[in-house]
Amino acid sequence: MDKTALKEQILADCKAKLNETLLQLEFEMNEALRLSSEYGAPKDRYDPYRTKLMRQHELYSEQYKKTTSMMIALERIQPDKLLDSVQFGAVVITDKQNIFVSTGMGKFESGGISYYAISYHAPVFKAMENAKSGDSFEMNGQHFEIKDVF
């Protein structure tokens, strides 16, 4: 698989993972609202069950907003633009792990290979920012060699 197709697949897999998360969060928000509505009027001013449901809804709503902003960040990546240095949108292959500089999603699978989606605010990104294939960097006492960047 050529690098552009691989990058497109990685990006598509990240978006699919975020879409799953968005659907789950939407379900949870709606479920909290449904339970709150079915519960009826508050029993008293400090009804703990209703308060708990509304807090859950707010929590899921905040997570939904964060996940939506992560999706927006992914939309800014141009998979057909191959990069020669570590920057936002780059796929970085090291001797220890594969990294996708995009948004802080953590570990995911693409084409049977494990990748770590990291934010450009992450310390590991700062350690390797602007590095090129063949360069190396140190992170948490470990030495990483960059085999490829695209």
Please name the residues in contact with 136: beta carbons below 8 A apart, sequence gap of 6 or more.
Answer: 143, 144, 145, 146
User: Alpha helix (H) ranges present in 40-130?
Assistant: 48-75, 123-128
Cβ 50 vs Cβ 36: under 8 Å: yes
Cβ 98 vs Cβ 9: under 8 Å: no
- pLDDT at position 43: 66
Each domain of the chain, given as residue ranges in start order, spans: 3-75, 91-149
- For the stretch 48-63, pLDDT in tens is 888 898 899 999 999 9
- For the stretch 2-12, pLDDT in tens is 999 999 999 99
- pLDDT at position 50: 80
Q: DSSP secondary-structure letter at 150?
A: -
- Mean pLDDT for the stretch of residues 18-36: 94
* pLDDT class of 1 with cuts at 50, 70, 90: confident
Q: What is the pTM of this model?
A: 0.87
What gap in Å lies between CA 99 and CA 77, rounded to an integer?
Answer: 15
